[in-house]
């Protein structure tokens, strides 16, 4: 292949020289051309106040883009507006200019608008650009969040500026405990939610119910404005999130600047070994970089390997670390004190971390929108490089064959599961702590569906047509559940040598990472888990003094203990599918020990007493009728392989992350694909509606693989609780061939007559 970019050529030569016996290489190169959004009118022709004109002139803006002008008109006309435009194309100005004009033209009680960002760090970054507009007059802006000192909070509350910058977390807690926040919400006319794409899944469910509380707090309607760089269904998603009609304004999704996309195939080398080596290459070139992965422990493991093997100055940025640790890492990256950082999605947002030359993706991100978000971190002030490393798993193999398809795919729709009982309970009790007593007829329908559960738990009591809250129990409940970021209760990771909490991990994933004997990494340091006390939400760990050459993976099983059907339908392929609320039991029976660099399995250990945890979530239930010629074990192998392939295919069809979904299969042909998040994230709900497309993609993933009966390129996965046993691609394909060719009609509903041992 002939490469057009010099760095591409140098990287390919580096890989050939470093791994001469492998086929690690640059397999595909793509260069994005510079583009500008479509131009709109001059700033002097749209009736802007003099103060705004002076600031825009100072910033070198003399003409609005077309999408900015469309947003300007719709916001000023009072519509709810969702703005979609690429990173760095000026979507912030699209909503801020009309808000500023309205405030400058009309004198009203302050604050008049709130602009909300997903994180405090991002809000504080953005406030710097807004303060430019307040230099010439009355357009004051201030930030009010958990980091605002108490004396400054009182000052802001006594004399609010027209615009307050904050985050949804502050509104959640402030509505309960702060009369200032309640007063702000009662006053504002417009609420802006930037980075809308972040609010999918469980966090989106929290925002949905927080909006209920905002509406119930205000006497007048609120204008909602939302903004995003990457979202597949902006109008539909905004309307489901805010339960209101929206106008959609679209700009160009391609940002200014040239970005080179490079895909790497790793051959026999572990993709993580190649990734670590590429980090060294970038550091030696003086290029600052971010490595993105989707697992906290993988981020820790990679940073440890990159630092110890190649002496690269690198840090880890992930959820679960103390806020001050993450902020320190951001500052070091911004100031050039480190070469790079290994990050989970915590650095996807538009946080100002200085010049980033390259983004390295350890695998294709869960969705194309996430690819665009991560890729958008590179080259904001010049040429940038995006290196995606492809290995041998099904999705990588699929995209290595079809690279153009990857870059031209549609954005997957964002989804929420608004009927997440755990989320609804938190927000209803939070609202009740705010008001004390309420008429049942005046609360949203969704909240009425959980009243019986709350009465049983004695969190509320009924008095005729009213319900009231038990304040003491309610406050304890809200405190225990944490904020709107947590998908499940938190397990504290305690270093026994210092008796100090060093991190937290959410359930249920904590059970799969913090079982006794597990090797756990925190800020690149290895620890061994001494004990996991699920009931007390504590995991006790001891630091390992020598750098380990191994890592651990759990051996676990999952079973459906109970379920309640929400909706059901007949598939076009003549099998039955249901969407259901399910009670899952997770059981860790032991673990395997693997080589840190090659991934080879060294040993397997079993527990005398398994670690168990039960939780409620949502799931798609599929009923496939067994073939007459298959014995029970044949069926178990076939359906387990289909389950694996469906989860992999959902990454293409539903934008699922590698750990967003879990699966269970039974020899009876019952397959359960469930949301890993407690209460449900909405991904399995999307799978329920797109199961036919997902089955076709799963078939293609298996059929195009040239292995005999299963391998990492089709059905093997590192997340298999059975260590990829009881699997047969050949039997799975034969089954699907029969399903497609002659049909296998089934009249039994999913899980009604399941039998056999569950396989995950």
Task: Please tell me the predicted confidence (pLDDT) of residue 27.
Answer: 86
Same domain, yes or no: 580 and 655: yes
Q: Residue 293 falls within a domain, yes or no?
A: yes
Same domain, yes or no: 429 and 347: no
User: Cα(202)–Cα(319) distance, rounded to whole angstroms?
Assistant: 15
pLDDT higher than 70, residue 221: yes
DSSP H helical ranges for 77-160:
91-105, 120-131, 150-158
Residues 6+ apart with CB under 8 A from 382: 257, 355
Bigger pLDDT: 81 vs 388: 81
Last residue in a domain, options 250, 266, 296: 250
Q: Residue 415 falls within a domain, yes or no?
A: no
Same domain, yes or no: 312 and 341: yes
| Average of per-residue pLDDT values in the chain | 88
Same domain, yes or no: 531 and 561: no
User: Cα(27)–Cα(403) distance, rounded to whole angstroms?
Assistant: 9
Same domain, yes or no: 238 and 307: no
User: Cα(355)–Cα(351) distance, rounded to whole angstroms?
Assistant: 11
Last residue in a domain, options 548, 570, 596: 548
Same domain, yes or no: 606 and 555: yes
User: Cα(606)–Cα(588) distance, rounded to whole angstroms?
Assistant: 9
pLDDT band at 368 (very low <50, low <70, confident <90, very high): confident
pLDDT higher than 50, residue 576: yes
Q: Which of 128-132, 597-601, 671-675 has the lowest mean pLDDT?
A: 597-601
Task: Please tell me the predicted confidence (pLDDT) of residue 367.
Answer: 74
Bigger pLDDT: 404 vs 204: 204
Q: Residue 733 falls within a domain, yes or no?
A: yes
Same domain, yes or no: 477 and 437: yes
What's the CATH number where 236 sits?
3.40.50.300
- Write the pLDDT tens digit of every residue in 680-699: 888 999 999 999 999 999 99
- Write the pLDDT tens digit of every residue in 488-527: 788 999 999 999 999 989 899 999 999 999 999 888 889 9
- Write the pLDDT tens digit of every residue in 307-333: 988 999 999 998 778 878 888 998 898
- Write the pLDDT tens digit of every residue in 18-56: 888 777 888 888 887 666 789 999 999 999 998 899 989
User: Cα(386)–Cα(559) distance, rounded to whole angstroms?
Assistant: 40
pLDDT higher than 80, residue 397: no
Same domain, yes or no: 165 and 289: no
Q: Residue 753 falls within a domain, yes or no?
A: no
What number is the average pLDDT over the span 475-494?
Answer: 85
Q: What distances in angstroms separate CA 555 from CA 9, 491, 584, 603, 724, one per listed residue?
A: 43, 20, 16, 12, 10
Same domain, yes or no: 310 and 209: no
Coil, helix or strand for 622? strand
Task: Please tell me the predicted confidence (pLDDT) of residue 257.
Answer: 47
Q: What is the DSSP string of 588-613?
A: EEEEEEEETTT--EEEEEEEEEEEEE
Same domain, yes or no: 139 and 228: yes
Same domain, yes or no: 272 and 314: yes
What is the number of domains present in the chain? 5
pLDDT band at 625 (very low <50, low <70, confident <90, very high): confident
Q: Residue 274 falls within a domain, yes or no?
A: yes
Here the tokens at position 141 are 């802006």
Q: Residue 749 falls within a domain, yes or no?
A: no
Q: What is the DSSP string of 304-322?
A: HHHHHHH---EEEE-TTS-
Percent of the residues in the chain that have a pLDDT greater than 90, as a whole number: 53
- Write the pLDDT tens digit of every residue in 523-547: 888 999 999 999 999 999 999 988 7
- Write the pLDDT tens digit of every residue in 163-190: 999 999 999 999 999 999 999 999 999 9
- Structural domain span for residue 463: 421-481
The pTM assigned to this predicted structure is 0.82
Task: Please tell me the predicted confidence (pLDDT) of residue 259.
Answer: 60
Same domain, yes or no: 673 and 555: yes
């Amino acid at each position: 292949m002939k490469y057009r970019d010099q760095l591409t050529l140098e990287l390919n030569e580096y890989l050939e020289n470093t791994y001469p016996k492998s086929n690690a290489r640059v397999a595909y190169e793509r260069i994005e051309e510079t583009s500008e959004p479509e131009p709109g009118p001059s700033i002097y022709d749209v009736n802007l106040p003099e103060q705004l004109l002076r600031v825009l002139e100072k910033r070198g803006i003399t003409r609005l883009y077309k999408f900015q002008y469309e947003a300007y008109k719709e916001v000023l006309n009072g519509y709810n507006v969702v703005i979609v435009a690429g990173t760095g194309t000026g979507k912030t100005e699209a909503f801020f200019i009309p808000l500023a004009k309205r405030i400058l033209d009309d004198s009203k009680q302050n604050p008049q608008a709130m602009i909300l960002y997903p994180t405090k760090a991002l809000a504080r970054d953005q406030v710097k650009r807004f303060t430019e507009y307040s230099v010439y007059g009355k357009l004051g802006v201030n930030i009010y969040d958990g980091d605002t000192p108490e004396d400054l909070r009182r000052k802001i509350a006594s004399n609010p500026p027209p615009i307050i910058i904050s985050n949804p977390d502050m509104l959640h807690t402030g509505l309960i405990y702060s009369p200032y926040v309640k007063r702000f919400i009662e006053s504002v006319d417009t609420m802006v939610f930037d980075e809308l794409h972040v609010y999918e899944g469980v966090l989106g469910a929290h925002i949905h119910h927080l909006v209920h509380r905002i509406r119930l707090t205000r006497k007048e309607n609120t204008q909602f404005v939302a903004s995003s760089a990457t979202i597949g269904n902006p109008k539909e998603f905004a309307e489901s999130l805010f339960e209101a009609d929206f106008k959609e304004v679209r700009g160009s999704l391609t940002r200014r600047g040239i970005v080179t996309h490079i895909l790497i195939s790793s051959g026999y080398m572990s993709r993580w070994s190649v990734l670590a080596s590429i980090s060294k290459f970038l550091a030696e070139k003086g290029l600052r970089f971010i490595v993105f992965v989707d697992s906290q422990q993988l981020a820790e493991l990679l940073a440890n390997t990159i630092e110890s093997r190649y002496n690269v100055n690198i840090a880890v940025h992930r959820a679960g670390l103390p806020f001050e640790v993450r902020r320190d890492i951001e500052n070091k990256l911004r100031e050039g004190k480190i070469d790079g950082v290994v990050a989970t999605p915590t650095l996807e947002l538009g946080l100002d971390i200085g010049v980033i030359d390259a983004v390295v993706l350890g695998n294709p991100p869960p969705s194309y929108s996430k690819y665009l978000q991560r890729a958008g971190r590179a080259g904001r002030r010049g040429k940038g490089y995006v290196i995606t490393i492809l290995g041998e798993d099904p999705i990588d193999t699929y995209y290595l064959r079809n690279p153009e398809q990857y870059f031209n795919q549609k954005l997957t729709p964002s989804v929420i599961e608004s009927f997440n009982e755990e989320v609804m309970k938190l927000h209803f009790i939070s609202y009740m702590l705010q008001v004390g007593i309420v008429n049942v007829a005046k609360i949203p329908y969704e909240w009425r569906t959980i009243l019986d559960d709350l009465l049983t738990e004695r969190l509320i009591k009924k008095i005729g047509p009213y319900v009231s809250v038990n304040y003491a129990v309610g406050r304890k409940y809200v405190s225990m559940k944490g904020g709107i970021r947590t998908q499940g209760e938190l397990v504290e990771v305690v270093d026994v040598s210092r008796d100090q909490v060093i991190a937290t991990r959410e359930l249920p994933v904590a059970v799969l990472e913090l079982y006794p004997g597990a090797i756990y990494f925190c800020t690149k340091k290895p620890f061994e888990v001494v004990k996991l006390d699920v009931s007390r939400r504590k995991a006790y760990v001891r630091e390992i003094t020598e750098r380990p050459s191994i890592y651990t993976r759990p051996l676990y099983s999952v079973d459906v203990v109970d379920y309640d059907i929400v909706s059901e339908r007949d598939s076009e392929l003549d099998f039955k599918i249901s969407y259901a609320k399910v009670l899952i039991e997770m059981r860790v029976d032991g673990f395997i020990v693997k080589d840190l660099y090659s991934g080879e399995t060294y040993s397997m250990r079993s527990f005398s007493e398994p670690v168990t945890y039960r939780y409620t979530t949502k799931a798609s239930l599929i009923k496939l009728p067994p073939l007459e010629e298959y014995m029970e074990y044949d069926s178990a192998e076939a359906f387990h392989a289909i389950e694996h392939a469906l989860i992999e295919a959902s990454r293409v069809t539903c934008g699922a992350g590698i750990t967003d979904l879990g699966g269970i299969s039974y020899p009876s042909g019952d397959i359960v694909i469930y949301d890993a998040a407690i209460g449900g994230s909405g991904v399995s709900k999307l799978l329920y509606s797109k199961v036919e497309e997902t089955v076709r993609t799963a078939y293609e993933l298996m059929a195009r693989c040239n292995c005999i009966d299963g391998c990492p390129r089709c059905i093997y996965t590192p997340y298999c609780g059975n260590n990829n046993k009881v699997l047969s691609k050949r039997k799975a394909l034969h089954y699907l061939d029969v399903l497609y060719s002659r049909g296998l009609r089934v009249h039994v509903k999913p899980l009604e007559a399941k039998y056999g041992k569950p396989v995950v």
